[in-house]
Structure 1
Amino acid sequence: MRKLVYFVASTLDGFVAGPDGSDPTGPGGFWSPSQDYVSHLVEEYPETLPGPARAALGVTAEGVHFDTVLEGRKSYEIGLAAGVTNAYPHLRHLVFSRTLTKSPDPGVELVATDPVAAVRELKREGGKDGKKGKEGKDVWLVGGGELAGTLHGEIDRLIVKLNPLTVGTGIPLLGRSAVFAPTAWELAGHTVLESGVAFLTYDRRPGTPRSSDG
């Protein structure tokens, strides 16, 4: 069965975006990715680079870890505001929203049903083509924090791109409305770049209750 992986950049004090929820790496953002950070993504996680960045960097590699990406409406609308209707055309792209009634892009699937039920079905599917019985790559939860909080109980792996930066306040890793649900994780791998960015991989500890089970 495929895993749901929350692959996300965070500050040292646990925020994935500023108070307004805007892209921290965008115009006027509070963080500029270092060259070694970008190089590491190109080498290890090429599918997590947005389409425009892949084109600019000449990246054509297929997904190494993921073939499907999930995001919430607020996160998706950041790209829309910049004129990007599908930031990940190389992946199956699902956007969870109960207010968007028509997809702005033929490559983006809108999902208005319960995110937990939808993710459980995705885990059982065979990957990008949606065919069951054929194991696909994992499912990438790109954000935002609110959707991550809703899916907290379904996250199997957490990859935090921890930046040597504090901001004081903003959107937390699991959003502002996440419920109290202590969850134990085991460190499965780590890479620390010269710039100070640490890629920390954690797997859910076996036997840890999932909040979505109840």
Structure 2
Amino acid sequence: MTTIYYTGCSLDGFIATPDHSLDWLTSRDIDEQGPMHYASFRERIGACVMGATTWQWILDHDDDPWGDLPTWVMTHRTFEPVKAVTFSAEPVEQVHAAALDVAAGKDVWLVGGGDLVGQFHDAGLLDEVWIQYAPVTLGAGAPVLPRHVELRLEEVTRNRDFACLRHSVVR
């Protein structure tokens, strides 16, 4: 089981604009059956963890949020209950252990944001970072990973507009 941060990113290192927009990302050309695309990645995932801002974005943009994937939303906020979603303010170590337990041998996906992923890294729980770089710069926004993290490049490929990189975390 691997704990993976999988995300899209601008060339200048942001995963969202200052107002949390992803229009710059979702408007790009991508082959949905191509390398490192979400559909094939999602097949290997048994549980995920995300921050409250990411969860709010999903609620604002999806009529059927998330389906039945066991999900932990790290938050101190109050949200309406949703099937398969656990809202938690527990330490990342506890949430990670619970996610691994229900993942049933599959991987755990850290959806975002960058600071939450940094907390997993700091606790020694982050294994890989997969980034799909879109051909755009934003100038400001939510940083992909606002921490010093040492990575080793494992794979590089192209999926139409995107440069797709897979890294392992150097411990």
Q: Return the TM-score normalized by structure 1.
A: 0.69
* Rounded Cα–Cα distance in structure 1 between residues aligned with 2:88 and 2:8: 24
> Are 1:200 and 2:171 an aligned pair?
no
Provide Cα deviations, 1:152-191, integer angstroms capped at 9, x if missing partner.
332110000111111111110125xx5xxx3321111121
- Coordinate RMSD, CA, aligned: 2.4
> Are 1:141 and 2:134 an aligned pair?
no
Matches within 5 A, 1:41-80: 44-46=37-39, 63-80=42-59
Identity %: 24
Question: 5+ residue gaps in structure 1?
Answer: 49-62, 128-134, 209-214
CA apart distance, 1:35: 3.8
> Are 1:36 and 2:30 an aligned pair?
yes
- Name the count of aligned residue pairs: 169
Contact 1:44 1:64 in 2 (8 A): no
- Shift of the 117–150 alpha-carbon distance from structure 1 to 2, 3 Å rule, reads same
More strand as a share of residues: 2
CA apart distance, 1:126: 5.3
* Rounded Cα–Cα distance in structure 1 between residues aligned with 2:18 and 2:37: 30
Greater RCO (Cα-Cα under 8 Å, separation 6 or more): 2
* Rounded Cα–Cα distance in structure 2 between residues aligned with 1:163 and 1:82: 20
Q: Return the TM-score normalized by structure 2.
A: 0.84
Pick from 102, 120, 124: which aligns with 1:151? 120
Find runs of 4+ consecutive structure 1 residues off by over 6 angstroms: none
Contact 1:70 1:139 in 2 (8 A): yes
* Rounded Cα–Cα distance in structure 2 between residues aligned with 1:18 and 1:44: 22
* Rounded Cα–Cα distance in structure 1 between residues aligned with 2:70 and 2:7: 18
Q: Which amino acid counterpart does residue 87 of structure 2 have in structure 1?
A: L
Question: 5+ residue gaps in structure 2?
Answer: none
Provide Cα deviations, 1:42-86, integer angstroms capped at 9, x if missing partner.
x853166xxxxxxxxxxxxxx422111211111101122346462
* Rounded Cα–Cα distance in structure 2 between residues aligned with 1:145 and 1:84: 25
